[in-house]
Amino acid sequence: MSQKDEHVNWANHDRDFWTSIDLDNSPYTDWAPTGMFYETVHWIEAFLATKPYHSGDHGQRKWAILSLYSSDLQAIYADFDKLKQDSETARYECYKHTASEIRQLVPLVDNIKSHISALL
């Protein structure tokens, strides 16, 4: 299996995880933004694997999006950065997003998935 396919499978795995969380009743909704963010990490890594390029950390990924492959990826950077920030807020600031806040993130994830899927 190619690196691209592995990342697509992992993106779908992460989506299965965060969509399984009952946003209105689960005590674990704090994990939804992190699952959403990491789904998009894997979509971007799937694209980068076609170049071939693999980012070793978030800083290298940001550089690849904004510099190396900006013509393909810059359009999704704002959505990606918002998801990263919300994930970090949940993890490092112990912020529990409301169901409404999480639902507002879904179009960002879907936009990144759609954008990358068209590039693959």
pLDDT score at 52: 85
For the range 67-76, what are the long-range contacts, defined as Cβ-Cβ under 8 Å and sequence gap of 24 or more?
Answer: 72/47, 72/119, 73/44, 73/47, 75/115, 76/111, 76/112, 76/115, 76/116
pLDDT digits (tens, 9 = 90+) for 83-112: 999 999 999 999 999 999 999 999 999 999
What is the value of pTM for the model shown? 0.95
Is 72 in contact with 64 (CB distance < 8 Å)?
A: no
Could you list the mean pLDDT of each consecutive 10-residue stretch along the chain, which spans 120 residues? 93 98 95 98 97 92 94 96 97 96 98 97
At position 98, the amino acid (one-letter code) is: T
CATH number, residue 93: 1.20.120
How many structural domains compose the chain? 1
Domain range holding 48? 3-119
